[in-house]
Amino acid sequence: MLSLRIDGELLDRLRDQAAKRGMSVQDYVIRTLIRDDFDQRFQTAVEETEKFYGVT
């Protein structure tokens, strides 16, 4: 379970973005977190590969 406390302005923006995608705010936030986590892990993997091969 994840619980977030956000202000009204941010909630309104999240509702707008979620509605554009036909999603609930909860689903939109979770998908955003998953996407950002993947991006971070991918970047780390690229950096480790470059270190291994000596690419700078």
Q: Look at the chain and report how many structural domains it folds into.
A: 1
**pLDDT for the residue numbered 56:** 61
With tokens 């986590």, the residue in question is 37
Whole-angstrom Cα distance, residue 26 to residue 49? 35
- Residue 1 within a domain: no
Domain containing residue 26: 8-53
**Contact criterion met (CB below 8 Å) for 40 and 26:** no
- Residue 3 within a domain: no
Tens of pLDDT, residue by residue over 1-56, are: 778 899 999 999 999 999 999 999 999 998 988 888 888 888 888 899 999 998 76
- Residue 21 within a domain: yes
Q: Which helix (H) or strand (E) holds 23?
A: none
**pLDDT for the residue numbered 10:** 94
**pLDDT for the residue numbered 39:** 86
